[in-house]
Structure formats: structure tokens, C-alpha cells
Amino acid sequence: MPRAIRDAKLDTEAARLRLKPRKKPYYRLIAAGLHLGYYAGEQKARDGGDRVRRGVWIARRYLGDGAYETERLALADDRSPADGQQVMTFAQAQEAARTWDQKHRAAPGTAPLPSVRDALAAYSDTRKQRAARAGKDAEARLERHVPADDPLAALPLDKVSAEALAAWRSRRLSALKPATANRLMNDLRAALNGAGRLHRRNLPTGFELEIREGLKGIADATTARKQILNDADVRRVLEGAMAIDPEGDFGRLVLVLAGTGCRFGQAAKLTVADVQVAQARIMVPASAKGRAGRSKPPIAIPVGSDVIDALRPAMAGRGGHEPLLMRWLHKRAPVTPQNAGRIEWIRDRREPWRVGADMARPWDEAIAAARLPAGIVPYALRHTSIVRALTKGLPLRLVAAMHDTSVAMIEKHYAAYIVDATEELMRNAITPLAPTQPARLRAV
């Protein structure tokens, strides 16, 4: 997104003459992503006298991804009368900047811009190259909610506006849960911005601003962060998870999520070697969030001996490179006279946990077994871990590092718990100052 720039006062000659000469122009915003600039140059007078101001008008448009394009328009009317061509007033320069901006976009011979549907297809291909399963999930979401017959899908990129996106939201998102809608809009935003970076020279000024305005997140999606469990409830969830799965596969997954506070995707990537028994810690892989290509080291999370002991059966006799958390996949049993008329499932093979949706059915069963309210989500274990660390007085930066997030995100979503934790720390630092014995007043 473009950097916030302090507008310079450029509309009068007197205001411009007060600007100090410098190598960079002064800028003033005149439209979304479009600036009018004034270069405060000086040159020697022909008669050898003092240097005189010779200002130049410059137009600048934002292309996206931190890039700009500039164009020299004309001299400013600081010392010469304006003719509208070589020398311009402030108003003439504004109009010239807008004309240049529009003319540049309508240049003849420009290849037609891709449609929103094309942008979504390119985005899905990129996602699948990075992570096949997650990419296919994103592709399925986008195809379901931005189908080929939707008016938004056929729009070329230069016709996408906040109004068009708002109309799509009213058609497609009204029946979705806030968190689901936000996830979908994140994918759509990423697809449009990715295509915008490739075609930024031929897109309207402020294209990114239109996307951001039209796809603002829904604040109600953060209600899941209010699902904070106490320690007794966490133990009941773990007992329920162990009870519904005699093999212990689901119970170990829930135990790792509760003991480390990591995301499902991080837990699914754990290997046997990531459990360091001697050090009583788990080396949690960094999450896949952020830009691809940035390698991040694993995060060392200390855990109790009970967690290590519960994970030992999953490590016994297995190589360090093998996935730690596994589960059984089932297939339909062959039809026999004994099971005719009903469907039976039998174990087929073991494989690692793949996506968070695989947790849905056993999680609901575990919550029911724990006699907790329906609607509690697995992410509550992560929120609980963060709040527990804060209330124990751990430094904010350490809590953020342990949970592979930023201090800003912790401050944004857990402010109330930060206040409680810091108040307790300050209370522990109180030093008694009042005298223990009341002072005796001497009689006069």
C-alpha cells in the first residue's frame, strides 16, 4: 500500500516560495493514489544576482507493491505567467495530472486485462504449487462463491471497484459465518492484488485501495477468541478425546494443540525427531503464513513430562523423519451376506493428519463427552494457551514468539488479559513505604 505522505501546501505562489529547495519534490494528494508534486528548484539569475526559484510540476501515480510512476508536467508559474502548456498554475497542473493518469491507462495497443475469474485461476495454481491440499481447498471455495455466472467473475480487473465487490458480498456472503466469509475474502483479496501487481501499469490509480475497501473483514469473526477454557475444562476435553479413540491418535493431536498452543497446520507437520525427550520440549515448525521463500526456524516449546509420556507410543520404533501424529483411514467393507443392506467401514491404512476439517467429527464427539457447550472450536486451545502464558506473567514478546505470532496481534486480541497480567506484576513490585508504627506527636 502507498505510504502516508504529508500534504504540502502548493496552491499559491507564496506557499510554494516558503518551501525549502531540496532534491525530492513536495507532494499533495489530489485523488486516490495520484499526487501532484512540486520540485522546488533554484537557478542563478541571468544578471548574476541571487538565485531564483524555478519550480516544476510533477505527477505521480501509485502502481502497487511500493512502486510509483512519475511524469514531468510543466514549469510552475512562480516567476512567469502561465500559458497552460509550458508554464501552469496549480489548478492547471492538477488537471494535467488527471489527464495524464487517464491517458496512460487508455494507451492504444494495450493488451486486454484479465478478468477476475482469470485472476482466481492464477491464484489457485500458485497456491497449489506451494501446498497442494490447501491450494485445492482455496480453489474449491472460490469456485463455489465466485462461479463463472456471477457478474463479478466476468469483470476485467480495471472495472473492479469497491461497489462491485460490495454487491458480490451481498449476493454471496450473507449466509456464511463471519470467519468463513473472512477466509473467503482473504483468498479473493490475495488473488486480485496478485494480478494487480502484474498489470499495475494498466490499472486505475488506487486499485489496491478499492480492493481493500470492498473486502474489509467482518469484525464479528473474532468471537472465537472469547472461547477461553480453564485448566479443568482442558483436561476434560483431553479425557474426552482419549475416550473416543482407543488408539489414542486423536487424543495425542489434541494434547499437542493444548500443550503447545500451536495451530493445526503446525501440529500436522511435526516429526518424531521434533519431540526432544531429554530436553522435555517440542520443536514446533513455523507456520506457513507470510510470504513463501522465507525460511523460519522451529520454535522450542517446553512441555510437561505427562505430555512426553503420552507421546511415547507414537514414537516407539519409528524413524525421526516420520510424521509424529498419525490416524487410521477407513474404507467401505466388501458386501457379504452378513452385512447385506448396511454399510460397514474397516481400517485401510494409516496416514498423517492433513487438514483441520479432519478434526471436525471427533472434536464434536470429544466436546460432547466432556459435557462442554457445543460450539467450542479447536482453536480455543490456542487462545487458552496464550491467555495462560499472559496470566502467568510471561513477557509479551516471549508469548508472541512461543505462539508464532506478533506482539501487535497479541495486544490487539488479548488486551484485557495483558492488563490483568501487568497489574499483577506491578503489584508484586510494590514496596512498603509507610512507617510500621504511627508517629507520635510531641506535645507543645
Question: Domain segments of the chain: what residues?
Answer: 13-105, 116-220, 232-376
Those residues whose C-beta lies under 8 Å from the C-beta of residue 377, and which sit 6 or more positions away, are 224, 227, 363
Q: What's the length of the chain? A: 444
The helix (run of H) or strand (run of E) holding residue 352 is strand 345-352
Cα–Cα distance between 382 and 287 in angstroms, integer? Answer: 14
Exposed, middle or buried by CB within 10 Å (0-12, 13-18, 19+), for 314?
Answer: buried
Cβ atoms within 10 Å, residue 268: 20
Is the CATH number 1.10.3470 carried by domain 232-376?
no
Cα–Cα distance between 170 and 145 in angstroms, integer? Answer: 12
The CATH code of the domain at 13-105 is 3.30.160
DSSP code of residue 65 = T
Per-residue pLDDT at 309: 94
Q: pLDDT by residue for the chain (444 residues), tens digit each? A: 445 556 778 888 888 888 888 888 888 888 777 888 888 876 655 555 556 667 888 998 877 666 788 889 988 887 778 888 888 998 898 998 888 887 766 554 455 778 999 999 989 888 888 777 778 888 889 999 999 889 999 999 988 999 999 999 999 988 888 878 888 999 999 999 988 888 877 787 778 888 999 999 887 555 555 688 999 999 999 999 999 888 899 999 999 999 999 999 999 999 999 999 999 999 999 887 655 556 789 999 999 999 999 999 999 999 999 999 999 888 888 878 777 777 778 888 899 998 888 898 999 999 999 999 888 889 999 999 999 998 888 888 999 999 999 999 888 888 777 766 566 667 777 777 777 666 666 665
Sheet harboring 26-31: ordered strands across?
Answer: 26-31, 34-43, 52-64, 67-76, 87-88
Cα–Cα distance between 326 and 352 in angstroms, integer? Answer: 4
Yes or no: say if 396 and 410 are a contact pair by the CB < 8 Å rule: yes
Per-residue pLDDT at 391: 86
